[in-house]
Amino acid sequence: MEILPEIHQVDGVQGNCFLLDREGLVLIDTGLPRNNKKILSCIRDTLKKDPKDLKYIIITHYHVDHTGNAAELRDITGAKVAIHEADADYLGGKMPMPPLQGLRGRILNILLFFWSAKPVNPDILLHDGDSICGLQCIHTPGHTPGSICLHDPALQVVFCGDAFLTKNGIVSGPPLSATPNMAEANTSAKKISHLDFDILLSGHGIPVRPHASEQVAGFCRTLD
């Protein structure tokens, strides 16, 4: 699905992932495991590019529905994998994911057993304020310690991973069962509400547009 001429969402992958057409291709998140063929076919058939044109894979946080195909895609394309340094050891398999909370969390804990992704040692460690491929990295911890949002000031887009969900186009916070520090997540949400952007692209849900920053600010007002 085309979001803008420069941004495509890969269809049919759970855990939304987005391809940006820059000087090389940039993939933001990779979806649940066993979806790498869908991503490669989007590169070849929709964007008419070669998988080797993929230069960067930027991961918004370490959860498996965002990292599931990073190892295979890096092997196939040679792209560099980037993640915030606070999530790097989870991605690299050096730190175990803490168990999810609540009834929904307990069910997901069982599913996660079957969804494990191959560990990846990242090539690039991101920090708050870094710039990568024309995107500003904003550290938005809470959902995970190293959750990030990526702001494209030129295109007026924010990629938020799970810092916000956008089910049915309605902005909400991250899922309670998978967010160990909701107070921190709320503080992070307010950080994003100070930006000016038109489109919000979440890891789950549909694009929020236009005037997305107003909807984020509206959601943040409900947190007070």
Chain residues in the site for Zn ion (CB under 5 A)? 63, 65, 162, 203
* Cβ distance to Zn ion smaller for residue 32 or 79: 32
Q: How far is the CB of 5 from Zn ion (least distance, A)?
A: 26
Shortest gap between Cβ of 61 and Zn ion (angstroms)? Answer: 5
Nearer to Zn ion, 179 or 213 (CB): 179
Cis peptide upstream of residue 210 (ω within 30 degrees of 0): yes
* Least gap, CB of 16 to Zn ion (angstroms): 8
Q: How far is the CB of 1 from Zn ion (least distance, A)?
A: 18
For residues 164 and 170, the answer to whether their CB atoms sit within 8 Å is no
Task: Give whichever of 156 and 200 is closer to Zn ion, judged by the CB atom.
Answer: 200
Q: Which of residues 48 and 113 has its CB atom nearest to Zn ion in the complex?
A: 113
**36 vs 156, beta carbon nearer Zn ion:** 36
Rounded to a whole number of angstroms, the minimum distance from the CB of residue 60 to Zn ion is 8
Return the number of the residue (173 or 197) whose C-beta is nearest Zn ion.
173
* Smallest distance, Zn ion to C-beta of residue 90, A: 11
Token pair belonging to 120: 């990846």
